[in-house]
Amino acid sequence: MTATPFRTTLATTLRAAGCVFAEDEADLILATARNDSEVTAMVTRRTAGHPLEHVLGWAEFGGLRVAVDEGVFVPRRRTEFLVERAAALAPRGALVVDLCCGTGALGAALAAAPGRDVRLHAADIDPAAVRCARRNVTPLGGTVYEGDLYAPLPAALRGRVDVLLANVPYVPSGEVALLPQEARVHEALVALDGGPDGLDVLRRVTAEAAHWLAPGGALLFETSTRQAPEAVRAVETAPGDLTAQVVTCEDRDATVVVARYGR
């Protein structure tokens, strides 16, 4: 199955279907599949336009191999920048909440960071995402809840959260149709569509953030460069004493807003 001619044939097939990194994808498929039948099935799905991560059943994120089920939002490598910023702020033993958690990749990566020893809670409204997140988060001692934003979280967490991760959907509704096919066809719309200007879900998160954060706690979320000024406004006009800072990583084309509570 792993002979060079077979790999070459796979790479040629993938390249013909438009896969830019065909050789790398062929290697990943060959390393993941257990037999030739699985290789064939994976290549068929990939050439039909399924995201590579859905085909493999996993994605690399923050040094972890994160389970990714069909239909669930695929964690983007640029979002590792958000996790890195969160890790820099999280005290040892921090209470961490991962809202709109998808696969749970953000919280899992933070929980797995050396020396963090965090207490992790995560939530998502999509039942498929919750099932997937439990596979990634539960082995790290975390708990995943199903529901809308803060609604399913235990009331005992109010006022105690040190780090609130919220990788909310932020694509404007009118731009969802412009996304690559892999996203708009194979990922849940609820994980992509952020409303007319892309910030509807974010405003709901910021409106309640101060009720959940501990003094000195931080809310971190990803946005686009274009949306950053309005995202900051959403933070600073929300109830509570929240101040926002925009941080960027040009190498990963990542824009993150860090909002501190009570500082």
Give 187-219 pLDDT, tens digit per residue. 999 999 999 999 999 999 999 999 999 999 999
Compute the distance between CA of residue 226 and CA of residue 237 in angstroms, rounded to an integer: 19
Compute the distance between CA of residue 99 and CA of residue 140 in angstroms, rounded to an integer: 17
pLDDT at 1: 45
Please determine, for residue 5, whether its predicted confidence score (pLDDT) is greater than 80: no
Q: Which residue has the tokens 């020396």?
A: 115
3-class SS at 213?
Answer: strand
pLDDT band at 6 (very low <50, low <70, confident <90, very high): confident
Q: What is the pTM of this model?
A: 0.92
For residue 125, give the nearest of 168, 74, 180 by alpha carbon. 168
Per-residue pLDDT averaged across 102-106, rounded?
98
Please determine, for residue 7, whether its predicted confidence score (pLDDT) is greater than 90: no
Please determine, for residue 4, whether its predicted confidence score (pLDDT) is greater than 90: no
pLDDT at 263: 63
pLDDT band at 242 (very low <50, low <70, confident <90, very high): very high
Compute the distance between CA of residue 201 and CA of residue 195 in angstroms, rounded to an integer: 8
pLDDT band at 126 (very low <50, low <70, confident <90, very high): very high
Dump pLDDT digits (tens) for 34-75: 999 999 999 999 999 999 999 999 999 999 999 999 999 999
Q: With contact defined as beta carbons under 8 Å apart, do 235 and 213 qualify? A: no
